[in-house]
């Protein structure tokens, strides 16, 4: 996996204690995990046969317990450990099953400290950056949020655990479709997915209390500023393609954008509707 395919990794010196876990390490983890899973399956098989396969197998229960444990560890070490304190964000990160938003072959890496491929040349962001951007939005439970760049739907699910309604736009039809399906199957009824060009926003549902952009435009798109409510917050990476970009947090005060830079980051570019990938 080429480095430029991992665009959402936070730059090491931006916050303390970054541990970059390499895929090589994870591949060996994968083999070890597979061996354990195979041994586990052999042990539980007779139980499944006796039970007629109607109840969840001990193996399945064991797998989901271990994903939960991985999630708890992820929150403690990668998120709380790096300074995210918002209780709602920590709870949302504990709750959303990230492994169900990544392609099956990457599930064993779902809680690792890194972005992961989700198909169509796109990535799901590193867990820390999802939590950091969510916290930056200072969400309230009645908020209406717009996300640009649905991708896997994971960030939208995290937002929807805190806010009232989430509107999310994805430009790649295959990703919009699979994210919508995934969110629906997990019961995220307050997330609305649209396939379209995020530069245009979603004017029918504006104004939004918060906007999050998970792909990088060259500058803050004006349509998004127009669709932000007074006192609303927008968080987004801004900068040229495949370079280090600035993660910006801006607030709309008396119609004007007041902004500050939070972190250096690297996201996939925000493409225009007439561009081919």
Site map for ligand SAH, 250-269, x if CB under 6 A?
------------------x-
Binder among 74, 96, 124, 131 for ligand SAH (CB under 6 A): 124
> Is 125 one of the catalytic residues?
yes
**Binding window for ligand SAH (CB under 6 A); candidates: 60-68, 104-112, 194-202, 223-231:** 194-202
Angle among Cα 177, 180, 182 to the nearest 5 degrees reads 110
Q: Looking at 28, 34, 125, 138, which residue is catalytic? A: 125
- Those residues whose C-beta lies under 8 Å from the C-beta of residue 163, and which sit 6 or more positions away, are 139, 140, 141, 142, 143, 144, 145, 190, 209, 210
- Alpha-carbon distance of 159 to 137, in angstroms, equals 10
Provide the mask over 166-185, with x wherever binding to ligand SAH is found by CB under 6 A and - wherever it is not.
---xxxx--x----------
Residue 215 binding ligand SAH, by CB under 6 A:
yes
Q: How far apart are CA 30 and CA 32, in angstroms?
A: 5
By C-beta, is 28 or 114 nearer to ligand SAH?
A: 114
Nearer to ligand SAH, 149 or 232 (CB): 149
Q: Is 63 helix (H, G, I), strand (E, B) or coil?
A: helix
CA distances from 32 to 25, 64, 81 (A): 11, 17, 27
- Nearer to ligand SAH by Cβ, of 2 and 50: the residue is 2
We find the least distance from the C-beta atom of residue 126 to ligand SAH, in angstroms, to be: 10
Q: Of residues 127, 198, 232, 237, which one binds ligand SAH by CB under 6 A?
A: 198
DSSP 30-43: HHHHHHHHHHHHHH
Closest contact distance (angstroms) between CB of 175 and ligand SAH is: 5
Do residues 30 and 24 touch, judged by C-beta distance below 8 A?
A: no
199 binds ligand SAH (CB under 6 A): yes
**Residue 234 binds ligand SAH (CB under 6 A):** no
Of 67 and 167, CB closest to ligand SAH: 167
Contact flag: residue 151 with ligand SAH (CB under 6 A): yes
Q: Is 232 in the site for ligand SAH (CB under 6 A)?
A: no
Q: Which of 162, 200, 164, 160 is nearest to 179 (CA)?
A: 160
Closest CA to 79 of 182, 24, 10, 171: 10
From the list 126, 124, 120, the residue with the least C-alpha distance to 150 is 124
Residue 221 in contact with ligand SAH, rule: CB under 6 A: no
Six-digit token string for 34: 């597979």
Please tell me whether residue 154 binds ligand SAH under the rule CB under 6 A.
yes
Q: Is 258 exposed, middle or buried (0-12, 13-18, 19+ CB in 10 A)?
A: exposed
Which sequence positions are flagged as catalytic? 125
Report the interface residues with ligand SAH, using CB under 6 A. Answer: 118, 122-125, 148-149, 151-152, 154-155, 169-172, 175, 197-199, 214-215, 268, 270-271
């Amino acid at each position: 996996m080429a480095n430029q395919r991992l665009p959402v990794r936070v730059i090491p010196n931006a916050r303390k204690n970054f541990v970059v876990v390499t895929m090589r390490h994870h591949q060996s983890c994968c083999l070890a995990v597979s061996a354990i899973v195979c041994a586990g399956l052999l042990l539980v098989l007779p139980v499944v046969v006796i039970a007629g396969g109607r109840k969840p197998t001990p193996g399945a229960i064991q797998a989901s317990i271990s994903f939960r444990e991985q999630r708890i560890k992820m929150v403690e070490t990668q998120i709380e450990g790096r300074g995210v304190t918002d209780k709602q964000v920590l709870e949302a990160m504990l709750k959303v099953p990230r492994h169900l938003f990544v392609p099956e072959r990457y599930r064993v890496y779902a809680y690792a400290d890194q972005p992961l491929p989700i198909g169509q040349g796109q990535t799901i962001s590193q867990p820390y950056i999802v939590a950091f951007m969510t916290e930056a939005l200072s969400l309230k439970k009645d908020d209406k949020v717009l996300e640009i760049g649905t991708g896997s739907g994971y960030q939208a699910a995290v937002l929807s655990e805190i806010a009232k309604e989430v509107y999310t736009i994805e430009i790649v039809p295959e990703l919009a479709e699979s994210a919508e399906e995934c969110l629906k199957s997990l019961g995220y009824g307050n997330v609305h997915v649209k396939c379209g060009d995020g530069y245009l926003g979603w004017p029918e549902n504006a104004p939004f209390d918060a906007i999050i952009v998970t792909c990088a435009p060259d500058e803050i798109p004006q349509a998004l500023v127009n669709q932000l409510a007074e006192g609303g917050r927008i968080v987004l990476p801004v900068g040229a393609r495949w370079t280090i970009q600035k993660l910006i947090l801006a607030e709309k005060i008396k119609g004007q954008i007041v902004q500050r830079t939070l972190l250096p980051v690297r996201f996939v570019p925000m493409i225009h509707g007439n561009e081919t990938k």
